[in-house]
Amino acid sequence: MKKILIVAGPTAVGKTAFGIQLAQRFNGEIISGDSMQVYREVAIATAKPTVSEQNQAVHHLIDTQSIYDEFSVKEFVEQADQKITEITARGKLPIIVGGTGFYLNTLIHNFKLGAEKDEHYQKIEAEYQNLLEEKGEDYLWQLLFKQDAVAANKIPKENHRRLIRALTVIKSTGHLFSKQQEELPVKYDAYIVGLNTERELLYQRINQRVDQMMSDGLLEEANLIYSHQDKIYQAKQAIGYKEFFPYFEHQITEQEAVDLLKQSSRRYAKRQLTYFRNKLPVNWIDSVKKDTRYYHVFKEINNWLTK
């Protein structure tokens, strides 16, 4: 099984710098494990590694898409798998650095994702969307319950997106959504380093980074997304754009939008932490207050590499 090193952690803890450090130390190349750094037209809100940072270690899966492209886990896993193969063949260590827990999880566990999202799929999805509007969430949930009680019991009826996805998968593949979720053996020998620090410190860093983004010209970038939003699918969901939409529409002040952005970022950090804590076997270290554990991890990685 191929070895991959993973660096996970909430936004703004310092994953980029730490990843570079690891790459230099363990002869590695970095693969971005991030759902938003793939878009080449933007860089500020997504906190993409700077040119000089990218020069300090080889980076992959950055700038591979246009903001007008659709992108999802599927593309990520395909691309990452290929990069891992290439890097390993070169005799180097693949290091996945990123905050998108779902992507990392899917990569190492090789989740089955269901049928192709072709026209047929889109049609089914649209049908359920209409059903939801006509008959409401109760109806949709009952529908799922009749088809796949296990799945229905795991999805609250308020969670429309997941409800529709489950129903669509069942109809397009012919098998149960819950069946698709069977555990599979892991695909990689992964050592996962989790970066974290005291909550208060983390929030401080988040707030500071947002201010930095503002002086780097975030408004302009957000405006680009705002003015083309009809043609943009996933990229406009990034934190740092939608918070400014009401500002562009004169609903709120710039300061209010900035506060909103900080709020979204803090909440996001918490969601990330929850995901990593409960879904992945993470070796946690404090990346800000570097204690003994911080240095101990390098030794652990060495042991894991020679195993």
Partner RNA sequence: GGAGGAGUAGCGAAGUGGCUAAACGCAGCGGACUGUAAAUCCGCCCCAUUAUUGGUUCGGUGGUUCGAAUCCACUCUCCUCCA
Which residues would be at the binding site for RNA (CB under 7 A)? 11, 34-37, 45-47, 71-74, 99-103, 106, 109, 111-117, 154, 156, 158-162, 164-165, 169, 180-183, 199, 203, 233-234, 237-240, 263-264, 266-268, 270-275, 277-279
Min dist. Cβ of residue 305 to RNA (A): 28
CB nearer RNA, residue 285 or residue 301: 285
9 is in an annotated binding site: yes
Nearer to RNA, 84 or 100 (CB): 100
- What SS3 class is residue 5? strand
Q: Is 14 annotated as a binding-site member?
A: yes
Closest approach of Cβ 295 to RNA, in Å?
26
Does the annotation list 13 as a binding residue? yes
When the beta carbons of 27 and 156 are compared against RNA, the nearer one is 156
Per the structure block, which two tokens stand in for 276?
């990593």
Binding site annotation covers 16?
yes
Which residue from 156, 157, 158, 167 is spatially nearest to 126, judged by alpha carbons?
167
Which CB atom, from 15 or from 83, has the smaller least distance to RNA?
Answer: 15
Would you say 174 is a known binding-site residue?
A: no
Residue 179 CB, nearest approach to RNA (Å): 10
177 half-sphere exposure, CB direction, 13 A CA radius: 23
CB of 113 to RNA, least distance (A): 3
> What type of residue is 233?
Y
| Shortest CB 230 distance to RNA, Å | 14
Helix 199-215 and helix 218-227, axial crossing angle in degrees, nearest 10: 80
Strand partners, 8: 194
CB of 83 within 8 A of CB of 31?
A: yes
By beta-carbon proximity to RNA, the closer residue of 13 and 169 is 169
Instruction: Give 3-state DSSP helix, strand, coil % of the chain, rounded to 5.
Output: 55, 10, 30
| DSSP assignment letter at 231 | G
Buried b / exposed e along 283-295 (16+ C-beta atoms within 10 A):
bbbebeeeeeebe
Contact 11, 283 (CB under 8 A): no
Reading across the β-sheet that carries 59-60, which strands appear in turn? 59-60, 28-32, 93-97, 3-8, 189-196, 283-286
Q: Tell me the closest approach of the beta carbon of residue 26 to RNA, in angstroms.
A: 24
185 is in an annotated binding site: no
Closer to RNA by Cβ: residue 29 or 34: 34
For the annotated binding site, the residues are 9-16
For the annotated binding site for ATP, the residues are 9-16
